[in-house]
Chains A and B, each alone.
Chain A
């Protein structure tokens, strides 16, 4: 974290900082990570912070290093986000999120007639694709319905 001015919130001792989140998506990032009100530990975020590439959101999760599989889900709603693992106030690891090829139990299928929206004991399953122009699309492995525009609105 060389550019502390950019973050507008204090540096953390241990944990995870998710930077360059698409502006307005911070709450969805928390949701996709399953971080809710029942969560212990300090979670802070900035929305619409000015950054080098325009406005962005930043999320800091203290005392917790999230695993790669969890973090990569963020790419569904913010493919340019970066993950910074902090130990003793230092960034020990910095990575771009990587779009997973498959997600389970993260997004709801928008086809109301899909078996994954019924009371069956299954989780939604999608294969993830990205077009040349960067658009992320999800294809339901049950009904083959494709979601491309409103992934954030359909997070479980």
Chain B
């Protein structure tokens, strides 16, 4: 995500907006007519994969789905570099999801067709960041946003790259997490260097009235050696109807999904809930990225 300038991000988001009616099925598109997109997923991520499939098909393209890669005999014992060299003969673009950090960068060195990083290792998931930004732009605003990010801020890659991207637009950021899962201090320092106002807290009560977007993430049980401690944290960092009584009426709640119980079901029917739209916005965003990467849109 750090490779993208604000202008480039805006261009992707503008393109996504133009394609939104196609994503909804209200308009037909043949932008990717005759094009083949290979989905090369080395770890299961059904949502991301389906979202790319929907995006490709809405644009009239075809999918080469390699299914579960471990099961595929073509790949047995073969290194990723060779797999990429082979697959780039079959498709016009490859979407890669891989457990190792930097695998998309490496793939782009061996591929003769564009690579879209569908999430590699624990650091990068740029298409998620683009769809988060698109959601914020559509449902709230990007410029000078007052945003709170909550949950697992230590390991959550989506919040790390979202912080970086939002800093390009100026923002006021509040980080809500248990002490064990605080935002890494090098990221906080980096943001402060860019004149971003940062506040850190461990509960929602005193901040909920003063934020425009609340970006919620899941806290995983595995992060806590002590199950009791996990229960405590889980209950403290929970968004409920009660909590939202103190919120600004325009507050939007985002979540990359899947959620466990950090957002109570009663929140779903409030105007604050934005996480299912967010899942939809993944489609026009990925359509834009596909179309731009393949050069069918300037």
Contacts and interface: CB of A to CB of B under 8 A. Distances in A.
Contacts, number: 52
B2 A120 contact: no
B123 A144 contact: yes
B122 A115 contact: no
Contacts of A116: 102, 106
B138 to A, nearest CB: 29
Interface stretch (A42-50, A59-67, A80-88, A135-143): A135-143
A140 B79 contact: no
A55 interface: no
A123 to B, nearest CB: 11
Interface residues of B, number: 17
Interface in B70-92: 79-81
Given A113-B121, A113-B122, A122-B109, A142 B81 contact: no
A155 interface: no
B103 interface: yes
Contacts of A145: 101
Contacts of A141: 102, 105
B264 interface: no
A145 B122 CA distance: 11
Contact of B106 (A111, A142, A144): A142
A121 B81 CA distance: 7
B85 to A, nearest CB: 10
A28 B148 CA distance: 47
A127 to B, nearest CB: 12
B295 to A, nearest CB: 25
Interface of A: 111, 113-116, 118-122, 140-145
Given A115-B80, A142-B102, 10 more contacts: A114-B100, A114-B102, A115-B100, A115-B101, A115-B102, A120-B79, A121-B81, A142-B103, A142-B106, A145-B101
Top 5 nearest A-B pairs (CB, nearest first) are A142-B102, A143-B101, A143-B102, A115-B102, A115-B100
Interface of B: 2, 79-81, 98-103, 105-106, 109, 120-123
30 contacts: A111-B101, A113-B100, A113-B101, A113-B121, A114-B100, A114-B121, A115-B98, A115-B101, A115-B105, A115-B106, A115-B120, A115-B121, A116-B102, A116-B106, A118-B79, A120-B80, A120-B81, A121-B81, A122-B106, A122-B109, A140-B102, A141-B102, A142-B102, A142-B103, A142-B105, A143-B121, A143-B123, A144-B101, A144-B102, A145-B101
